[in-house]
Structure formats: C-alpha cells, structure tokens
C-alpha cells in the first residue's frame, strides 16, 4: 500500500478506480507480474465473483503490465477450506490474495499460511473507517492483523407470511422461545403437509454453516457457551449442549424439517435459497442476512416478491431469558498469503477491493452488514435492502465464535454430533458424550470444564 508521502505526490494523477496512477508497484518496476486471487464461487453465491471481476479491471487499468489471475473455486464450503489450505501450503500453488473465513484466521496463522498486514494498514488512511469490532475479526492471537473484513452478518428466522397465516399464526411473528418456534412449525405441518415447516442446517456437508447457522444459534441462547472467556475453558458436557441437540432431534424426528438425506446434500443451501423459499415450499428458515442477495436483480435467483412474501424474526433464546433474542456474527476477509511473491501488490489489491465505493457496492449486492463506518452511514447503503435495518439491529444481541486455532476442529466435532442426532444414530446424550471426548482430544482435558447440569 502507498505511503502517505507518495499518496500526496500522486494525488493529481489519481484515477477513478481508487488507487493512484503512479502507484508504488509501478514505480518499483513491477510491470509484467501476475497477481493470483483465490475465492469461493458456489451456487447462489455469485457476488464475490462479480466483485473480483470488477476490481480486476480497475486494478489492471491502474497498473499497466500487471495481470490479475482470478481463481474462482466452485466447491462447497468445507471443500473450499480444504482446497485453499492445500493451495496455501505450497509456494507453487499459493495465491497472493485469498478469500478467508474469519473463523479460520488463527488456525491458518498457526499453519503459517497468512501474512500480517500491519505495516500496510498503518499507512492506509481508510483503515480508520473500520471499527475495532471489525478489526478484531481478522486479528490473530499474536495481536497482529491478517485480513481486511469485507462485511459481516447476523442470523435470524425468515418466514413465509402467507404460509404461517394459513396455519393460524398472527403476523408479524416473533417467537419468544424455542417452544414457540417448534409450535409454529407443527402448525404449518398440520395445515399443509406438502410444505416443509422449517429449515435448520445440521449436517457435515454444510460445514461451518451447520455449526454456526444451526447449532450455535441454539447453544448461545442457553446458559452454556461453547467457550468461557472467564475460566478460559471449553464447556462440555452441559445442559445447553444437550438441549440444543434435543431441539434438533425433536425437529428432525418430528418431520418438521428437510429430511436428513436432503440436509446432507452439500448443495442444500442453494436449494433452500434458490428453490424452496421462492417457491413457497418452506415456511421457516434459520439463516443469514446475506441470503437476500440471492434474490436481487443481479443475484443468482432474482425474486422480485421476496420482501413482500417473507418476514423476519429474531431467534429467541431457549426460554426467552437473558436478552430474549440472540444472533451469531461472522464474516469473510481478504488476506495475503505467506508464500505470496507479490505481497506489496496483494496488499494494494485489497486496498482497492475494499475502498469505500467497492465495499459499498459489494455489501449492497451481497446483503452484507457494512463494517466500514462511512459505508454504514451512507443513505444509499441504508436504503438498499428492506432487511438492512432489521439485521443490523441484531448486532447488540449477537455472539462471536471463539477465536482460537482449535475452533475449526471443535466445529467439525459439533457437526459430527449434530449429524449423529438428526440421522438417529445417537441420542443427544450419547452424541454429547462423544463430543466431550473429542473436545478433550482437541484442546486437552485440562482445558475442558462442565457447564450446567
């Protein structure tokens, strides 16, 4: 990224793309280089690819002789994580810029895959537009920053107003407990057996989507967290963990969800957002704020009537206690890989990709919650989506995953427990017992403590 002095010297030659025409890369003889950018492109999620295509054109226009090689990886989430880890592990295949899920930041730091960006960010004036909470999402346990956030998200219940109304549920719907959620799903099933009452992700093929959109949206509504920052221990066994698995058992065994076979399809998220909701075949969907991006005019499955067809409700805590409602937040960053041979150029690419204008257009298109202050307060962004205010309003009750290198393995163990329960292979109690043993193997027995009984 450009030093402050060089930025001032080049100000008169600035081009519309947001980087200066006399960039540090051009002046240092970097012409003829190729910058590789890897990211996920799968199913309904097409906005990252559109964003990268736009930034590629802007960057190449501002840096004559430099080529951007985009590598859109068209695989499901779990497979994407595996693919980029393999790529980043070798200097011959490592991209320069990588699209990185924040929950992997610390494990990828530990593996030696990422480059700290502090020296670049210290001279990037835009970094001051990112609040501390956003910066923390890409900060390693060593205190260094390893990525720039593209946006964040929250999670809640989407519901089909007509299907719930026909089932006798008053509008607007805001359940006050898990029991209310199950009761609504049962009412839909009784009214129209041809409609899937509810979707809650719970299988290994959907990876972290199942852990975060499914299990943790239950667990963090109980009295037992996944990890206690006070005791610095992972919590299991606990009543909250067992109750969360029991909710899944009740929903799946009661025929209130997709079948286990449907849920275990790696393409399930695309089916939910691209088919079941638009076709009014699904009444309630526990999902993320970004889903609406699928239905915009530039989305994968345009659906003009989505905002009048669907309502949104905050996920209640287990019994309405605590803050009454809750959510989970995550997000993705752009990071520079440790084996990149073009780290300066890679950092400049990220600066361009996430300047105000490009961040705003991406956040609007993909249904992201803005992490830049100047974007968040922009009227164009605020009025871009009928759900923006609702999902942003969940930030005060949201929760974040434990930012530790062991978390991805813990998440995988949670997915094993969920899948065992929804397929009937284990009872909630047995699945929790197996999870507890796996957890001890991952983090060490001394770092595990029981929660409420």
Q: What's the pLDDT at 31? A: 58
Mean pLDDT of 82-111: 97
Q: What is the pLDDT of residues 5-59, one digit of tens each?
A: 333 333 333 333 333 333 333 333 455 799 999 999 998 889 999 999 999 999 9
Mean pLDDT of 74-85: 94
Angle between helix 428-443 and helix 407-422 axes, rounded to 10 deg: 160
State the average pLDDT for the chain: 92
Q: How confident is the model at residue 206 (pLDDT cuts 50, 70, 90)?
A: very high
Mean pLDDT of 169-178: 98
Neighbour-count burial of 437, counting CB atoms closer than 10 A to its CB (0-12 exposed, 13-18 middle, 19+ buried): middle
Helical segments of 199-255, H only: 208-209, 216-219, 239-253
- Match 């980043």 to its residue by tokens: 88
Q: What's the pLDDT at 453? A: 78
Share of the chain above pLDDT 70, in %: 93
What is the rounded radius of gyration, in angstroms, for the C-alpha atoms of the chain?
A: 22
Q: What is the pLDDT of residues 291-323, one digit of tens each?
A: 999 999 999 999 999 999 999 999 999 999 999
HSE (side-chain half, CA atoms, 13 Å) at 84? 35
Quick one: CA dihedral 168, 173, 177, 178, positive or negative?
positive
Question: In angstroms, rounded to a whole number, what is the distance separating the alpha carbons of residues 237 and 224?
Answer: 10
Mean pLDDT of 120-143: 95
Tell whether the model's pLDDT for residue 4 goes beyond 70.
Answer: no
Q: Any idea which of 22-31, 103-112, 144-153 has the lowest mean pLDDT?
A: 22-31
* Closest to 104 measured CA to CA, from 114, 95, 96: 114
Mean pLDDT of 236-246: 98
Q: What is the pLDDT of residues 328-372, one digit of tens each?
A: 999 999 999 999 999 999 999 999 999 999 999 999 999 999 999
Mean pLDDT of 237-254: 98
Q: Count H helices, E strands: the chain?
A: 22, 15
Cα–Cα distances in angstroms (integers) from residue 290 to residues 158, 188, 374, in the given order? 12, 25, 20
* Closest to 180 measured CA to CA, from 198, 162, 202, 207: 198
Question: In angstroms, rounded to a whole number, what is the distance separating the alpha carbons of residues 17 and 318?
Answer: 48
Mean pLDDT of 433-444: 98
Tokens for 114?
């990422």
Tell whether the model's pLDDT for residue 244 goes beyond 90.
Answer: yes
Neighbour order of strands in the sheet with 233-235: 227-228, 233-235, 448-449
Share of the chain above pLDDT 90, in %: 91
Assess contact for 315 and 285: CB atoms under 8 A: no
Q: What's the pLDDT at 32? A: 76
- Domains of the chain by start residue, with CATH: 4-153+330-385 (3.40.190.10), 155-329+403-449 (3.40.190.10)
* Closest to 251 measured CA to CA, from 320, 156, 184: 184
Q: What is the pLDDT of residues 260-282, one digit of tens each?
A: 999 999 999 999 999 999 999 99
Cα–Cα distances in angstroms (integers) from residue 410 to residues 146, 231, 326, 387, 405, in the given order? 22, 18, 22, 32, 10
Tell whether the model's pLDDT for residue 420 goes beyond 80.
Answer: yes
Q: What's the pLDDT at 13? A: 33
Tokens for 269?
């998220």
- Match 């910058």 to its residue by tokens: 35
């Amino acid at each position: 990224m450009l030093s402050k002095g060089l930025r001032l010297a080049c100000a008169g030659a600035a081009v519309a793309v947001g980087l200066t025409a006399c960039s540090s890369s051009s002046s240092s003889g970097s012409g003829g280089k190729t910058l590789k950018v890897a990211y996920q492109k799968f199913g309904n999620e097409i906005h990252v690819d559109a964003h990268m295509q736009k930034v590629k054109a802007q960057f190449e226009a501002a840096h004559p002789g430099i080529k951007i090689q985009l590598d859109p990886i068209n695989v499901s989430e779990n497979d994407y994580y595996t693919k980029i880890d393999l790529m980043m592990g070798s200097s011959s295949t490592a991209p320069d810029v990588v699209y990185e899920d924040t929950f992997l930041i610390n494990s990828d730091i530990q593996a030696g895959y990422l480059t700290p960006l502090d020296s670049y960010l210290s001279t990037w004036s835009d970094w001051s537009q990112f609040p501390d909470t956003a910066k923390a999402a890409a900060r390693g346990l060593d205190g260094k920053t390893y990525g720039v956030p593209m946006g964040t998200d929250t999670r809640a219940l989407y519901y089909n107003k007509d299907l719930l109304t026909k089932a006798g549920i008053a509008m607007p719907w805001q359940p006050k407990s898990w029991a209310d959620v199950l009761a609504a799903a049962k009412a839909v099933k009784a009214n129209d057996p041809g409609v899937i009452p509810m979707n809650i992700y719970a299988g290994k093929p959907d990876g972290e989507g199942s852990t975060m959109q499914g299990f943790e949206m239950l667990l963090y509504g109980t009295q037992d967290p996944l990890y206690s920052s006070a005791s610095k221990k992972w919590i299991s066994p606990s009543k909250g963990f067992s109750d969360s698995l029991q909710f899944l058992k009740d929903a799946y065994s009661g025929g209130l969800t997709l079948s286990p076979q449907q849920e275990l399809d790696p393409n399930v998220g695309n089916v939910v957002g691209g088919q079941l909701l638009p076709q009014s075949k699904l009444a309630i969907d526990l999902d993320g704020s970004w889903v609406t991006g699928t239905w915009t005019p530039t989305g994968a499955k345009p659906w003009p009537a989505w905002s009048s067809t669907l309502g949104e409700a905050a996920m209640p805590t287990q019994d309405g206690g605590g803050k009454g409602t809750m959510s989970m937040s995550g997000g993705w960053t752009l990071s520079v890989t440790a084996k990149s041979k073009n780290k300066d150029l890679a950092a400049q690419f990220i600066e361009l990709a996430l300047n105000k204008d490009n961040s705003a257009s991406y956040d609007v298109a993909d249904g992201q919650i803005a992490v830049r202050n100047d974007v968040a307060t922009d009227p164009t962004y605020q009025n871009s989506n009928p759900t923006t205010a609702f999902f942003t309003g969940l930030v005060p009750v949201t929760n974040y995953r434990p930012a530790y290198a062991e978390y991805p393995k813990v998440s995988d163990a949670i997915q094993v427990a969920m899948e065992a329960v929804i397929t009937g292979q284990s009872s909630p109690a047995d699945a929790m017992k197996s999870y507890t043993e796996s957890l001890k193997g991952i983090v060490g027995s001394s770092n595990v403590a029981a929660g409420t009984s």
